[in-house]
Amino acid sequence: MWAMIYALLIKEFLAILKDKKSRFVLIGPPIIQLFVFGYGASFDLNHVPIAVYNEDQSIASRDFISHFTASPVFATVLTITHSEQIAPALDEQKVLAVLHLGPHFSRDLYTEQRSAAVQILIDGRNSNTALIALNYMQSILAKFNLDWAKQHQQSLPPAQLQIRSWFNPNLASRWFIVPGIVGLLTLVATIIVTALSIAREREQGTFDQLLVTPLTPFQILLGKAVPGLIIGVVEASFIIPVAVLWFKIPLLGSLLALYIGIILFVFAIIGVGLMISSLSITQQQGLLGGFLFIVPAIILSGFATPIANMPVWVQKFTLINPLRYFLVIVRSVFLEGFSVSNLVDQYWPLAIIGIITMSCAGWLFRRRMY
């Protein structure tokens, strides 16, 4: 039996490697997407264009503005001299924000009994970017307050907030995004390979040849599943060193814990891919079916937006999404140093999803064999 399954495995790998389209799907897109996501997908802000409207024109106001211009986050691209220039600058998206200091800024600054007001007008069309920019501005403002109080012997605030970020000291969004790419690209490669496997046989007319072999439906399905498992694990194994060595993401946890998660995740995805392939007559149908699953799986995984922010009924749908559990595993191993014992509650849902999807794939395969 194993000799026949081994022969089927060799046939599957040869079919994948000899097909130019399949080779490209396995090699080209993962590499491109890895670097596109690694460099392009970022929640960090750099060189944000701002405008300055300084009505005070004092040494104190220029000192305050220098705290912003010295920051790599902000770039002053426009100096406003009249209030009528503010609206066009924001409306035409020349700047993200306008920093406005009133004519009495320095006078109020030297008077402890009166606070010196600073107005920030910000473009709120992209609310996420606006909130991040405001947080940066508040940090710069807090630093200016402390520096000014020390230089002028004014009373410091009774309590000072000192922030230390756990697991991600520099709050670099790349540390959050790149580990997730391990799951994202493994999902794409595995789904595509398995979704095309049976559909390719039907389209090329070789499916009937499989039916006249001594192989049972279970053995045929196993021969289709194992290549997907190997390819998925190899794909993840390629991305992990790139994340660590190229993008400098720390891998603090156990490799064993990570690879248990990878194998269970790929096992669950293979079942989904084979279900799609069993229902598909052509490779085009298999490809479309694969992307029909991939897009909602990514959206409902917590890759970019927290699951806790989704409506309750949507959160329930995420419980059947394998990528949801794997993202917790990969980020916990990379950033939090988790071991196998810490991730058992993420392993068993993946195992159950894998068993259910593989069972459904086997049932669909037997039903549509003839």
Whose tokens are 């079942």? That residue is: 271
Q: Where are the domains of the chain?
A: 2-41+172-367, 48-151
The pLDDT value recorded for residue 335 is 87
Joined together, the tokens standing for residue 364 give 């669909």
Residues 9, 220 contacting (CB under 8 angstroms): no
Strand order in the sheet with 118-122: 74-79, 48-54, 97-101, 118-122
Q: What is the spatial distance between Cα 26 and Cα 194, in angstroms, rounded to a whole number?
A: 12
Geometric angle at alpha carbon 7, from 5 and 13, rounded to 5°: 100
Residues 322, 350 contacting (CB under 8 angstroms): yes
The pLDDT value recorded for residue 345 is 94
Q: Who contacts 140 (Cβ-Cβ below 8 Å, separation ≥6)?
A: 67, 68, 71
Own/partner contacts of 36-41, CB < 8 Å, gap of 24 or more, are 37/177, 37/178, 37/181, 37/184, 38/174, 38/177, 38/178, 38/181, 38/243, 38/246, 38/247, 41/177, 41/304
Geometric angle at alpha carbon 254, from 251 and 259, rounded to 5°: 100
User: Phi and psi of 123, rounded to 5°?
Assistant: -75, 115
The pLDDT value recorded for residue 35 is 67
User: Phi and psi of 115, rounded to 5°?
Assistant: -85, 145
Q: What is the spatial distance between Cα 68 and Cα 179, in angstroms, rounded to a whole number?
A: 32
The pLDDT value recorded for residue 160 is 47
Predicted TM-score of the model (pTM)? 0.74
User: According to the 3-state scheme, what is the secondary structure of the chain?
Assistant: CHHHHHHHHHHHHHHHHHCHHHHHHHHHHHHHHHHHHHHHCCCCCCCEEEEEEECCCCHHHHHHHHHHHCCCCEEEEEECCCHHHHHHHHHCCCCCEEEEECCCHHHHHHCCCCCCCEEEEECCCCHHHHHHHHHHHHHHHHHHHHHHHHHCCCCCCCCCCCCCCCCCCCCCHHHHHHHHHHHHHHHHHHHHHHHHHHHHHHHHCCHHHHHCCCCCHHHHHHHHHHHHHHHHHHHHHHHHHHHHHHCCCCCCCCHHHHHHHHHHHHHHHHHHHHHHHHHCCCHHHHHHHHHHHHHHHHHCCCCCCCHHHCCHHHHHHHHHCHHHHHHHHHHHHHHHCCCHHHHHHHHHHHHHHHHHHHHHHHHHHHHCCC
The pLDDT value recorded for residue 81 is 87
Rg (alpha carbons) of the chain, rounded to whole number: 28
The pLDDT value recorded for residue 86 is 86
Q: What is the spatial distance between Cα 29 and Cα 4, in angstroms, rounded to a whole number?
A: 33
- pLDDT tens, N- to C-terminus, the chain (370 residues): 666 666 666 766 666 666 666 666 666 666 666 666 666 555 667 778 889 998 888 888 888 888 888 888 888 888 888 888 888 888 888 888 888 888 888 887 777 656 777 888 888 766 667 778 888 888 888 888 777 777 777 665 544 445 556 677 776 778 888 888 899 989 988 998 888 887 877 777 776 666 666 777 777 778 788 888 888 898 899 889 988 998 888 999 999 999 999 999 999 999 999 999 888 888 888 888 888 899 889 888 988 777 877 888 888 989 999 999 999 999 999 988 889 999 999 999 999 999 999 999 888 877 765 5
The pLDDT value recorded for residue 62 is 87
In this structure, which topology does domain 48-151 adopt according to CATH? abc type-2 transporter like fold (3.40.1710)
Q: Please report how the helices 20-40 and 217-241 are oriented relative to each other, as an axis angle in degrees rounded to 10.
A: 40
